[in-house]
Amino acid sequence: MRSFITSKKQYKMQGGRSSGRKASRIGRQAIVCLFWLALWQAAAVVIAKPLILPGPWETLTTLVSLAGESTFYFNIFWTLLRCLLAMALSFSLGCLCAYCAYRLPALRSLLTLPVGFFKAVPVMAIVIYVILVASADWVAVIVCFLMCFPIVYTNVLAGLDDAPEELLELASVYELSAGEKVRYIYAPAARVQVEAAVRLIAGMSWKAVVAAEVLSIPRYSLGYEMLNAKYYLQTPVLFAYIAVIVILSLAAEKLISLLLDRSKPKGYRGSRLTLRRRGGAGHKNAAAGAGAPVKCAGAGQAYGISVSVDSVTKSFGEKAVLKQLELTLAAGRVSVLMGPSGGGKTTLARLIAGLETPDSGRISFARWGQPCARPQLAYLFQEDRLLPWLNVYDNMALAFLRRGGADFAGTAAKEGSAEQMIKEMAARLELQEVLFKLPEELSGGMKHRVALGRTFLALEAGAELAIFDEPFRGLDRELKKRLVSSLWSACTSGRTVLLITHDEEDGGLGDVKLSWLTDQKS
């Protein structure tokens, strides 16, 4: 009770400090505004010529007078519409072209010149030309689009280029579709650059649209009214319209900032993934205790996949990592590979997974003795490779996004839904308390268990071949024993598994020990 009261007091104190800081910030902003208004008024008094510099009060009264006219709102509406339309076109086409250029190097090269040209050319030059070829009502939209498109295109393309390669490899292993890669990897990874682009075009669009309206003279527009005020020497009206443009611009930027701030990654309950599945009956073991051995879908079922590594050589630069390697992974067996660090064990795993290509030799697969394509794979990388914007639940649920696996292959569809399997796996891995937290909120050991759970779930989803690269690293002995007893044998039984480890104790988890040093020809 005492701790509850203490925490409640701390919460109130923190809330009070936050409110105090906010009030202080608002107070400083108000003082700054009052300072510049006072300076404006002083300058107007000194000049004493409203035709040159009207004061704040005269500008305000003129603005109130304009607010009583219906055309005032028509002008605001059409200028606002042109800005929003140009921003929407710039953003949508900029993102689309950036993605296409990312996928097609030839298109990237083709767009380099026009994008660079429109980034460098003055706004007035574009306005003058567009006036010659477009209707006055559309000049501002076209000009704003041509000025904002290069910003969106270059920012989004830079964000796509910076997408983490390790996460793209993860997507390749689990066979995510192009749309899923965009949704779950590319878009979140490029979020910072996209936000920067949106903020930039939010400010630039008003300047470009109003400048184009001043020269193209559409019937309803703030730019046209500013031009009229100049012709008739109505300086207070000019200042009133400038104030309207500034207010609308600041309001739009503030609204966009609020929306972007709300889109930042944060913990969430439930799932943001769309799993391709046809359902299934409730999992009868979903409520089982964490100490009982789990029954993995398809456990004990022999899949008959074997892997042959024939005279494979792989070099990185001048360093030959693998030399004429001969190796066989027996079907339905756990093969343990041990060897010195830097000897090429992880390189072999990547070759089998298709993430690297051998310089010479070949890697082939067979199902029940008959040649076949690379089978569905479950892969535990040395790194955790968790998507930082997805919670623990969704990071494990990636195992069920495999293309072609609309169901969970084999008995999985009969024995339970993805949700029940994920929750049960989290219980076995002692992660149920953090199931809806983001990876940044977890310890290093927890992150590794999430990656381990995703790999085991990929086996439940029907993967026929599994690679575990140091599966129990960083786990304390007692936790490791619990995981081995409740998960390892149940989930790997009947599968073809390559277990890479430095731990002699882990060698006892396999059926076959590969003699790494003698398998490579000198």
pLDDT mean by block of 10 residues, the chain; 522 residues: 46 53 77 87 85 87 90 92 94 95 94 92 90 92 94 94 92 89 90 91 89 90 88 87 89 85 78 59 35 49 78 87 88 85 85 92 89 90 92 91 49 57 90 92 91 91 89 84 84 87 78 66 52
Are the C-beta atoms of residues 392 and 439 closer than 8 Å to each other? yes
Q: What is the pLDDT, as a whole number, of residue 302?
A: 52
**Close Cβ partners of 137 (under 8 Å, ≥ 6 residues apart):** 218, 219
Whole-angstrom distance, CA of residue 299 vs CA of residue 489? 9
Are the C-beta atoms of residues 331 and 365 closer than 8 Å to each other? no
Whole-angstrom distance, CA of residue 385 vs CA of residue 355? 15
Angle of helix 105-120 versus helix 136-161 axis, rounded to 10: 130
Whole-angstrom distance, CA of residue 108 vs CA of residue 101? 4
Q: What is the pLDDT, as a whole number, of residue 296?
A: 58
**Secondary structure tally for the chain: helices H, strands E:** 20, 9
**Close Cβ partners of 186 (under 8 Å, ≥ 6 residues apart):** 99, 159, 160, 163
DSSP string, 6-41: HHHHHHHHHHHHHHHHHHHHHHHHHHHHHHHHHHHH
> Tokens representing 259?
């929306």
Whole-angstrom distance, CA of residue 471 vs CA of residue 133? 65
Are the C-beta atoms of residues 438 and 391 closer than 8 Å to each other? yes
Closest CA to 163 of 187, 183, 194: 187
Q: What is the pLDDT, as a whole number, of residue 409?
A: 38
Give me the residue label for tokens 């280029």: 161
CA dihedral of residues 452, 453, 454, 456 (deg, nearest 10): 90
b (16+ CB within 10 A) / e for 351-365: bbbeebebeebebeb
pTM more than 0.75: yes
Closest CA to 277 of 474, 140, 395, 422: 422
DSSP letter assigned to residue 182: I
Are the C-beta atoms of residues 204 and 86 closer than 8 Å to each other? no
Closest CA to 304 of 372, 353, 369, 364: 369
Are the C-beta atoms of residues 425 and 369 closer than 8 Å to each other? no
Whole-angstrom distance, CA of residue 38 vs CA of residue 266? 43
Q: How far is CA 173 from CA 212, 351, 356, 472, in A?
A: 51, 12, 12, 21
Task: Name the amino acid, one letter, at 163.
Answer: A
> Tokens representing 315?
């070099």
